[in-house]
Amino acid sequence: MVGPAILPALNLVRYQHPDDPWAFGHATEEPAEVGELEREELMKLAKNAIVVNTLQDIYSSRHKNRRCESSTLTSTESLRFTRALYRIMLFQRVFPGKTTIYIDDADTEQEREIRAARKAFFAMYTTAELREIYAVNNFIEALGTWLVRKVLNQDYARCDHAIVVPAEVFLHAYQERNPRLINRHFAHETFAGANNLLVGYVTDPVQAVWKERGEVSLSDSFNHILDHIEEQDDICKQCGTKAGIELWSASNWATQNATSLAFLPCILETLHMAGELPHNAWERAVLQAHMRRGVSLEDLLAELFALKRLPAFSSWRPEDAICLNCLKRFVTQHLHLWLLERKREAGQFIGPDCWYGYHCRVHLIHHDEEHARSFNHLCQARGYWDDGS
């Protein structure tokens, strides 16, 4: 169950924290061999292995093979991922994030002492191992940010503490889709943000060791863990662009991450609407009101595909992998139709079609809000057929 990373796993369960829970501890080097295992150690190993393997499944399904929920990492890739995660979990036990939230940023001596000890911790590992640790750190931080944005629907929210709380706490928050469980772990009323010791919790000391060894700057790359990504060379079904793992299809609408995190906020700001609609404050307010009823990105995309679509898009299927640009083009050409449907369903007033449809600039030029309200602009200009190509 533990797999090839048994030595780092063992080092984690054998770690003893000092009696003072507010102190930081000292990790020992990893054992050279497994040796005799006590019953209690076996139980702890099994418990940690569940956390590590589950996070590995999530990592694999998001970054290696999105068609598969359980890990498809090769044994070498798995060794890199799991040993890095066990080492991060040990770091979390040796330097509990919880204990540093009370440290005043002004108390530089205490801060310096902690920083030196954290750096000494990572100095135990080789440069290649530090790369793996850095990659796994970035994976967890990105997953935390995804969780916060997804659940709290906060446009540009960040999650500073995903890596600072014990991995099992973070995993629980992720599985429950409840980022508040991360902050709750700190159980501190006045805890509002992050101090110097929480931001860059892992990356600061890793980079310090890195720099001392005269290495070039650490790059954020999945290559530190993965040798091969399943969809690496996949192209967009519509435009042929090679977008690999960044491609969108119905199976990953709900979990899509990385560069597209800000897609939903942009939709909310009507940036992806046809013609002059992005400047139509009236329709924007209507759209936002409908979206605030809890429409997720995946709900919205499914509903857009279910609409009677423009001829140019009639052959598009939700399960086809397409690039973000093509998806945005699709959304832009159909979001007004979706909104019109929602207004109809809700029995909201829909005026007669404006002659200029969504290309109308009357409300812009004349600041004529009355016009925006009285006429329907969620349509094409009369006698004009925009095929969206």
Q: Which residue, 203 or 238, has its beta carbon nearer to Zn ion?
A: 238
**Cβ 353 to Zn ion, closest distance in Å?**
9
Q: Which residue, 8 or 275, has its beta carbon nearer to Zn ion?
A: 275
User: How far is residue 65 from each of residues 58, 73, 121, 224, measured CA to CA in Å?
Assistant: 10, 9, 33, 16
The torsion angles phi and psi of 342, rounded to 5 degrees, stand at -65, -40
Encoded one letter per residue, x for contact with Zn ion by CB under 5 A and - for no contact, window 186-225 reads: ----------------------------------------
Return the residue of 323, 331, 337, 378 that touches Zn ion, per CB under 5 A: 323
**Cβ 351 to Zn ion, closest distance in Å?**
10
Residue partners of 112: CB distance under 8 A and separation at least 6? none
**Tokens representing 385?**
């057929």
Confirm or reject binding of residue 264 to Zn ion (CB under 5 A). Answer: no
**DSSP per position, 243-262:** -GGG-B-GGGTTT--GGGTT
CA 63 to chain centre: 11
What are the residues facing 248 on neighbouring strands? 322
**Tokens representing 368?**
């004529």
**Cβ 198 to Zn ion, closest distance in Å?**
40
Confirm or reject binding of residue 2 to Zn ion (CB under 5 A). Answer: no
Closest CA to 238 of 331, 326, 351: 326
Q: Which residue, 47 or 366, has its beta carbon nearer to Zn ion?
A: 366
* Distance in angstroms (rounded) separating the CA atoms of residues 232 and 268: 31
> How many residues contact Zn ion, by CB under 5 A?
10
Is the distance from CB of 339 to CB of 285 less than 8 angstroms?
A: no
Interface region with Zn ion, contact rule CB under 5 A, candidates 44-52, 115-123, 247-255, 316-324: 316-324
User: How far is residue 290 from each of residues 11, 286, 287, 332, 344, measured CA to CA in Å?
Assistant: 52, 6, 5, 17, 12
**Cβ 339 to Zn ion, closest distance in Å?**
16
* Distance in angstroms (rounded) separating the CA atoms of residues 139 and 143: 6
The torsion angles phi and psi of 339, rounded to 5 degrees, stand at -65, -40
Is the distance from CB of 263 to CB of 300 less than 8 angstroms?
A: no
Confirm or reject binding of residue 236 to Zn ion (CB under 5 A). Answer: yes
Q: Which residue, 238 or 249, has its beta carbon nearer to Zn ion?
A: 238
For residue 79, with 0-12 CB atoms within 10 Å meaning exposed, 13-18 middle and 19 or more buried, which class applies? middle
Other CB atoms within 10 A of residue 315 CB: 10
Q: Which residue, 135 or 245, has its beta carbon nearer to Zn ion?
A: 245
Q: Which residue, 47 or 382, has its beta carbon nearer to Zn ion?
A: 382
Residues 353-382 close enough to bind Zn ion by CB under 5 A: 354, 360, 362, 375
Q: Which residue, 142 or 360, has its beta carbon nearer to Zn ion?
A: 360
**Cβ 345 to Zn ion, closest distance in Å?**
23
What are the residues facing 353 on neighbouring strands? 376
Q: Which residue, 303 or 320, has its beta carbon nearer to Zn ion?
A: 320
**Cβ 378 to Zn ion, closest distance in Å?**
11
**Cβ 255 to Zn ion, closest distance in Å?**
20
> For residues 123-134, b (16+ Cβ closer than 10 Å) or e, as one string?
ebbeeebbbbbb
**Cβ 275 to Zn ion, closest distance in Å?**
10
Interface region with Zn ion, contact rule CB under 5 A, candidates 153-161, 165-173, 195-203, 240-248: 240-248
Return the residue of 147, 198, 291, 326 that touches Zn ion, per CB under 5 A: 326
**Cβ 220 to Zn ion, closest distance in Å?**
25
**Cβ 121 to Zn ion, closest distance in Å?**
45
* Distance in angstroms (rounded) separating the CA atoms of residues 130 and 152: 32
Residues 110-139 close enough to bind Zn ion by CB under 5 A: none
Q: Which residue, 17 or 373, has its beta carbon nearer to Zn ion?
A: 373
Q: Which residue, 50 or 239, has its beta carbon nearer to Zn ion?
A: 239
What are the residues facing 235 on neighbouring strands? 242
Return the residue of 23, 34, 50, 239 that touches Zn ion, per CB under 5 A: 239
Residues in touch with Zn ion (CB under 5 A): 236, 238-239, 241, 323, 326, 354, 360, 362, 375
